[in-house]
């Protein structure tokens, strides 16, 4: 099933006759048609007439007021600037701990943990499937012992930490809470985020373990546990980032992400939770891609849609439930291996769109990331890019400085309409879990990815240094190489841990976890105890694999 | 001449399959017979798929940095099963230094970010030795 070609349908329908004619006819233009990077047609000029049906009070409103098109804070960044949160992690916990201290010393204002693939997939470093992967894409965290090392000398009471972890999110969250407890930090006041967004894993990034329905149960368990015990923690970061990286258009990113958000809220409500208790802790995560105005429209439409859905569909009473808060990361997929210094410029423009779109926190990619994980120098330059935007450009002085632009408001309206059309399609399928089970978002994204690649091949979309302005013999950049000894060290440490811990306590905790999973008790309680007992990520995940089995997707091209 | 038969595989734990799927479609649209294995295939599963599908080409998509572990293992198994004539190409995030290492273990071509689909199609078409012809 396909939605009625949303990009085209919501594109400009304005005819040449209605438009004022500032140029001497079509023949004066260098292209037959102009489109965004997502393929949405763009008119020559936008005027008041482009905004038929648009109402300034209703659609734009005031910053800090429903529907928050102009942002969730009345003062924008004049009160508090966005958090500069650089995603980072590699090798052993010791190496990553040093990188964190470096980033904080350089003026970073939050931490963001990148885990390696074995951790993300709930496998211990010595598992057969972990071979070659330990510490490669992120830091290897196998147990509480590794988590203690990761945050050694960093006060969890004074910093917020974001952890990019999904299927094993409850396990890593439990370990983080125990480290906080050891440091004497109060669970009721600490804050941070776990990504914990399994739907986009099925849709895009494919780091799932269990089938969709038990996976959703784990998430609602985290919602319930946190509402009661860690009330300032952001329990989920509903992510469009990976959906976009997998090839979605801006509109598909917006629509699928917000519809995922709706699905989580529905599951929470169905689990008996009160909307205004858990929804304020739901946050979002968007991509900042290269088409500047399209991205701006996406962030603004996202806030507006969420406010309406929470108030009107779910009857949320608290303004905190209506406000969509989001993190942004610049588009990894837009980075090129060719002429890598060009990436600095791409990242700066993408970051600017996120800031003008009102992001709460931002990660800027490093220039070398089409080649490897970033070096410390490249990561510092990426952070400096944010600091220059914040402190030199002046764009953060006024709230939503581009609000009221005919072009931007028209794009925002069309984004909203296109997303709501997708909502209808997915609602008709029975919701997002059902849509995923029949492969709908996966197919839409794969189609868009292929269409974009074809446009690049035909040079309808230009990528500087790749299909135009190509240079022979690229200037190389220094590359971070991951010490192959990291894996051996992690395995050795794991074996020592398994030898020395209290075996009876581990076994009891894992048995309690299984019993909770088989029944309806909240799984977070036995997970925290398992973390305290130094059970490994692999052991905790295996206990649930025994109960729920593993998910396998049907290969489809 | 019969169609070129290609097995596209995603080895390792990584699930980023955009590249694998885009190239699978492009090769299919270019007239090749494409079999996509899906995610998280071990080297042995990939080689078995190549045997079963009578593949002329294996395309491995690796973005996680595990290529130095996976590629030599795939090549060793191919040799062991007497499939030395299957052409193996790799796409993904591969640093300069490792391109040479992969060539040394017998990887035929390495395609990094920014490579056009046409370049890969042309490379395979001009370098493949059709197993149908040699049998």
Chain B residues closer than 8 Å to A463 by CB: 114
CATH numbers and ranges of domains, chain A: 1-14+29-81+195-206+236-400+409-469 (3.20.20.240), 89-189+476-549 (no CATH)
pLDDT in tens, A214-223: 999 999 999 9
User: Per-residue pLDDT for B125 more than 50?
Assistant: yes
User: Per-residue pLDDT for A470 more than 50?
Assistant: yes
pLDDT in tens, A332-347: 999 998 999 999 999 9
User: Per-residue pLDDT for A24 more than 70?
Assistant: no
Q: Are residues B128 and B87 in contact, defined by beta-carbon separation less than 8 angstroms?
A: yes
pLDDT in tens, A74-117: 999 999 999 998 888 999 999 999 999 988 998 877 899 999 99
pLDDT in tens, A147-205: 999 999 999 999 999 999 999 999 999 999 999 999 999 999 999 999 999 999 999 99
Q: What is the mean pLDDT of residues A119-138?
A: 94
Q: A446 touching B, CB under 8 A?
A: yes
Chain A residues closer than 8 Å to B12 by CB: 117, 132-133
Chain B residues closer than 8 Å to A552 by CB: 38
Percent of chain B with pLDDT over 70: 95
Residue B8 pairs in a beta bridge with B36, B59
Chain A and chain B share a number of CB contacts under 8 A equal to 112
pLDDT in tens, A537-550: 999 999 999 999 99
Distance of CA A109 to the CA centre of its chain: 18
Q: Which residue of A has its CA nearest to B25?
A: A557
Matching residue, tokens 């945050």: A151
Residues 67-126, chain B, touching A (beta carbon < 8 A): 68-70, 93, 95-97, 112-114, 116-118
Distance CA A81, CA A518 (A): 45
Nearest Cα of chain B lies from the Cα of A389 at a distance, in angstroms, of 28
Residue from the list A133, A201, A336 with its beta carbon closest to the beta carbon of B114: A336
pLDDT of residue A475: 67
Residue from the list B14, B18, B114 with its beta carbon closest to the beta carbon of A338: B114
User: Per-residue pLDDT for A1 more than 70?
Assistant: no
pLDDT of residue A31: 87
Which residues contact residue A261 at a Cβ distance below 8 angstroms, ignoring those fewer than 6 apart? A238, A282, A284, A306, A309
pLDDT in tens, B27-72: 999 999 999 999 999 999 999 999 999 999 999 999 988 899 999 9
Q: Are residues A290 and A334 in contact, defined by beta-carbon separation less than 8 angstroms?
A: yes
Distance CA A165, CA A176 (A): 12
pLDDT of residue A86: 85
DSSP type of residue A66: T
Helix residue ranges per DSSP H, B41-116: 43-52, 67-80, 96-104
User: Per-residue pLDDT for A473 more than 80?
Assistant: no
Residues 198-227, chain A, touching B (beta carbon < 8 A): 201, 205-207
Matching residue, tokens 């393929």: A39
Percent of chain A with pLDDT over 70: 95
pLDDT of residue A139: 97
Q: What is the mean pLDDT of residues B64-81?
A: 94
Distance CA A232, CA A218 (A): 19
Matching residue, tokens 């295996």: A542
Nearest Cα of chain A lies from the Cα of B13 at a distance, in angstroms, of 6
Q: What is the mean pLDDT of residues A457-485?
A: 88
CATH numbers and ranges of domains, chain B: 5-128 (3.40.50.280)
Matching residue, tokens 């973390």: A531
Interface test with B, best of A118, A332, A450, A451 (most B CBs within 10 A): A450
Q: Are residues A383 and A86 in contact, defined by beta-carbon separation less than 8 angstroms?
A: yes
Matching residue, tokens 């734009």: A60
Residue from the list B28, B38, B93 with its beta carbon closest to the beta carbon of A372: B93
Distance CA A111, CA A266 (A): 30
pLDDT band at A25 (very low <50, low <70, confident <90, very high): low
């Amino acid at each position: 099933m396909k939605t009625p070609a949303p990009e085209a349908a919501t594109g400009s329908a304005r005819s040449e006759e209605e438009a004022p004619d500032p140029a001497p006819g079509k023949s004066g233009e260098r292209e037959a048609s102009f489109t965004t990077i997502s393929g949405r047609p763009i008119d020559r000029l936008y005027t008041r007439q482009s905004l038929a049906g648009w109402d300034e009070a209703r659609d734009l409103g005031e910053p800090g007021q429903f529907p928050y098109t102009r942002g969730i804070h009345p003062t924008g960044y004049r009160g508090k600037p966005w958090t500069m949160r650089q995603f980072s992690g590699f090798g052993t916990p010791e190496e990553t701990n040093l990188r964190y201290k470096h980033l904080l010393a350089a003026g970073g204002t939050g931490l963001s943990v990148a885990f390696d693939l074995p951790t993300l997939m709930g496998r211990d470093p010595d598992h057969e499937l972990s071979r070659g992967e330990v510490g490669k894409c992120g830091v290897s965290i196998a147990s509480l012992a590794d988590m203690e090392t990761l945050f050694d000398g960093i006060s969890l009471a004074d910093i917020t930490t974001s952890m990019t972890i999904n299927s094993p999110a409850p396990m890593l969250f439990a370990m983080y809470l125990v480290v906080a407890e050891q440091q004497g930090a109060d669970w009721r006041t600490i804050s941070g985020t776990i990504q914990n967004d399994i739907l986009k894993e099925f849709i895009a990034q494919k780091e799932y373990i269990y089938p969709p329905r038990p996976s959703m149960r784990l998430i609602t368990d985290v919602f319930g546990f946190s509402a009661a015990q860690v009330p300032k923690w952001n329990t989920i970061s509903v992510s469009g980032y990976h959906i976009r990286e997998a090839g979605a258009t801006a509109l598909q990113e917006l629509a699928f992400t917000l519809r995922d958000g709706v699905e989580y809220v529905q599951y929470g409500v169905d689990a008996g939770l009160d909307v205004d208790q858990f929804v304020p802790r739901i946050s979002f995560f968007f991509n900042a891609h290269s088409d500047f105005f399209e991205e701006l429209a996406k962030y603004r439409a996202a806030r507006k849609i969420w406010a309406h859905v929470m108030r009107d569909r779910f009857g949320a009473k608290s303004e905190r439930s209506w406000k969509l808060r989001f993190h942004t990361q610049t588009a990894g997929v837009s980075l090129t291996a060719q002429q890598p210094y060009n990436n600095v410029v791409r990242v700066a423009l993408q970051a600017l769109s996120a800031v003008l779109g009102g992001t709460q926190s931002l990660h800027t990619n490093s220039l070398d990331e089409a080649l490897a994980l970033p070096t410390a120098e490249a990561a510092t330059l990426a952070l400096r890019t944010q600091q220059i935007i914040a402190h030199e450009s002046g764009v953060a002085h006024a709230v939503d400085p581009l609000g009221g632009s005919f072009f931007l408001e028209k794009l925002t309206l069309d984004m909203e309409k296109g997303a709501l059309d997708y909502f209808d399609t997915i609602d008709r399928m029975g919701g997002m879990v059902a849509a995923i089970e029949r492969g709908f978002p996966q197919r839409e994204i794969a189609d868009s990815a292929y269409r974009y690649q074809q446009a690049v091949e035909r040079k309808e979309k230009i990528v500087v240094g790749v299909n135009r302005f190509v240079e022979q013999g690229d200037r190389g950049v220094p590359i971070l190489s991951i010490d192959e000894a990291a894996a051996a060290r992690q395995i050795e440490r794991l074996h020592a841990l398994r030898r020395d811990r209290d075996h009876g306590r581990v076994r009891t905790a894992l048995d309690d976890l299984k019993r909770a999973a088989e029944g309806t008790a909240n799984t977070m309680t036995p997970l925290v105890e398992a973390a305290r007992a130094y059970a490994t990520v692999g052991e905790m995940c295996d206990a649930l694999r025994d109960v729920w089995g593993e998910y396998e997707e049907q290969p489809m091209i | 001449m019969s169609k070129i038969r290609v097995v596209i595989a995603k080895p390792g734990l990584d699930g980023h399959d955009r590249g694998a799927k885009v190239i699978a479609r492009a090769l299919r649209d270019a007239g090749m017979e494409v079999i996509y294995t899906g995610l998280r295939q071990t080297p042995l599963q990939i080689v078995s798929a190549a045997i079963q599908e009578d593949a002329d080409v294996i395309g491995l998509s690796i973005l996680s940095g595990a290529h130095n572990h996976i590629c030599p293992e795939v090549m060793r198994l191919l040799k062991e099963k007497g499939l030395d004539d299957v052409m193996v190409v790799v796409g993904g995030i591969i640093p300069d230094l490792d391109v040479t290492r992969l060539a040394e273990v017998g990887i035929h071509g390495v395609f990094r970010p920014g490579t056009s689909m046409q370049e890969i199609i042309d490379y395979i078409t001009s370098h493949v030795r059709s197993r149908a012809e040699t049998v």
